Amino acid sequence: MTEQISSADWQAKVLGASEPVLVDFFATWCGPCKMMAPVIDEVAAEKAGAVSVYKIDIDENPDIAQQYGVMSIPTFISFKGGEPAKKTLGAQPKEKILELLD
């Protein structure tokens, strides 16, 4: 299962990470977010050790969502060297999620 983080974890786990990071911006009430959860868990398992994968609830952490311009969910953003690298919105096939990490 993919680790859920909060604003308090953001600096250390995402911006300070030495490896690439994929963040799933979601909400508990979001149907497409629930549909994507198993896909994100698969990506996390396949990329374990090379990439960190986290989920962040936009309702509980609106500051982070606002900072990165998250207007609809699910939104997936990859980070490299603490900077946003690639972004995609909505339910996506696993291949599209993996492309964020290329």
- Rounded Cα distance between 1 and 77, Å, is 18
87: left (phi over 0), alpha (psi -120 to 50) or beta: beta
At residue 82, the 3 state secondary structure works out as coil
Active-site annotation holds for 11: no
Catalytic residue among 5, 14, 33, 36: 33
Catalytic residue among 5, 14, 22, 30: 30
Active-site annotation holds for 30: yes
Cis amide linkage into residue 74, ω under 30° from 0 = yes
Residues taking part in catalysis: 30, 33
